[in-house]
Structure 1
Amino acid sequence: MKKIYTLLLLCLFTLTVAAQTDITPSSKKLTKAETEEFFTPAFKKKNLINFPIFRAYTYQDKSGTYYVALSESADTVNKEKDTVNYTIKAFNFKVDKTISLKKWEINDFKIPTIKGDEKESSIWFWTKYCGFNDLDGDGLIDPIIVYGTFGLNGYDDGRAKILIYYKGIKTAIRHQNSVIDAGRNTQVDATFYQLPAQIQNHVKELMEKMVKNNHAIFPAAYIDKMGKKITQLTNE
């Protein structure tokens, strides 16, 4: 009898693992109603989500189901009627039945104004470049979050940041724009070079799109050099 019970447990475990493995990774942007259904006032209060949620997503892969909220402080409105944010926060929650566990959080802000000297006016998520896809085909979603700032001359002297989450490990690419060669600076975490080639190539393509859309100034040499193990890049 004991052997039969053990065999049944083993079969149940095998079927559970097989079911999880068979899940096709998928993601979607949540509607306003779907966002409010998951991120209720009580849930936001409990998890200290104090800013308005600008955009929310859900994704599912063989490791489970996740919800992501991108929130911005919405401090004021400028002359062009654009919302100005001084701070942004992002949250990722894994949902297991009735339990939601926070997996990671992003906190960033524009460079503070000192004695009337304003270097940056706003910071916000660049959802055009954000994505939740299984880039290397291992059955796990590889979240990529992109955001940036406006400097005194808009994008020309603002900053951009690309965050890649691979198997729970965050890798960052930090970039300072400038129309002056000496003013540009790109810092790449060493872990970027440990990422699968598919993810590295996808990030390089994102950088090229950002250049094409005039959202960042990455000379071709920057992106070419990223094929080598360099943790800090400056324009030559």
Structure 2
Amino acid sequence: MNIRYILILYALLWCATRTLAQDKSVRASVLASEEVEKLFPSSVKAEHGIRFPVFRVYSYVDESGKHFCVLTESKDAQDSNGDVANNKIQAFLFNAGEVFLKKNGELSDQILGNESEEESIWFWTKYASFDDLDKDGIIDPILVYGTSALNGTDDGRVIITVQHKDVFYHIRHQNGILDDERHTNIDPAFYDAPKSIQEAIKGTIVAISNDEKAIFPYNWKEALKAKKTVWRE
């Protein structure tokens, strides 16, 4: 085995490792920029209300057909370090027909007002997943996004969203430096979702906590089990 072949093999392995580290989803592929431009020209964006620059597009397939998840970020601001920041984000979920796209889901959010001092909002793609969580043949996308404020993510927000049967369930967490600043709000309907979906969200919360991206109330597992819609310290 010559050295050139070894270097190429190492480079391919390195790229694959980076991709898996960024996105844990195993059922979805990330479209190249050329594919995105071809599938979503200006006319298609205008038709479906895609107003912000496309950050990433996922393609995935289940028993209902092929789908696209389009993540967009406004890139219309600067944070306190002078880096590009976002005031708003939008995500779009499409069913892909042979000649047209049908939108079957959309979510949007923005930084809060001046009192919160939030500086930017963006998608946390490391925690995105596209799996059939309840084994009904249909993918249940999980998307995560968050915000930063004067202390970065330490006093920003984290939002976890899962779509199941065209319904979005949200877990909204306010991070904070002090214990009494942190709280989590759960959509009441989330507890009606299949247990497997609730367990998947529990795993996402654990992953975010392990990465020290947020501190959830210390008793959140008990609160989840008790089906509480507000978690506090």
Q: Does 1:151 align with 2:152?
A: no
Quick check: 156-165 or 33-42, which moved more?
Answer: 33-42
- Unaligned 5+ runs, structure 2: 1-25
Partner of 2:72: 71
Letter in 2 for 1:171: Y
Q: Runs in 1 of length 4+ with deviation above 6 angstroms? A: none
Residues 133-172 of structure 1: CA distance to partner in whole angstroms, max 9, x if unpaired?
1122211100111101002211111001011101111110
Match runs of 1:44-193 below 5 Å:
44-78=45-79, 80=81, 82-113=83-114, 119-193=117-191
Secondary structure at the aligned position of 1:106 is classed as strand
RMSD: 1.7
Q: For 1:77 and 1:171, how far apart are their aligned partners in 2?
A: 30
Q: For 2:55 and 2:158, how far apart are their aligned partners in 1?
A: 18
Which of 164, 187, 207 is equivalent to 1:209?
207
Partner of 1:199: 197
Letter in 1 for 2:33: K
Q: Is the 8 A contact 1:26 1:61 kept in 2?
A: no
CA offset at residue 27 of structure 1? 2.2
Partner of 2:6: none
Q: Is the 8 A contact 2:183 2:217 kept in 1?
A: no
CA offset at residue 96 of structure 1? 2.0
Q: Percent identity among equivalent residues?
A: 39
Q: Is the 8 A contact 1:122 1:150 kept in 2?
A: yes
Q: Is the 8 A contact 2:79 2:120 kept in 1?
A: no
Letter in 2 for 1:178: G
Q: Is the 8 A contact 1:118 1:152 kept in 2?
A: no
Normalising to structure 1: TM-score of the pair?
Answer: 0.83
Q: Does 1:221 align with 2:222?
A: no
- Report the number of matched residues: 208
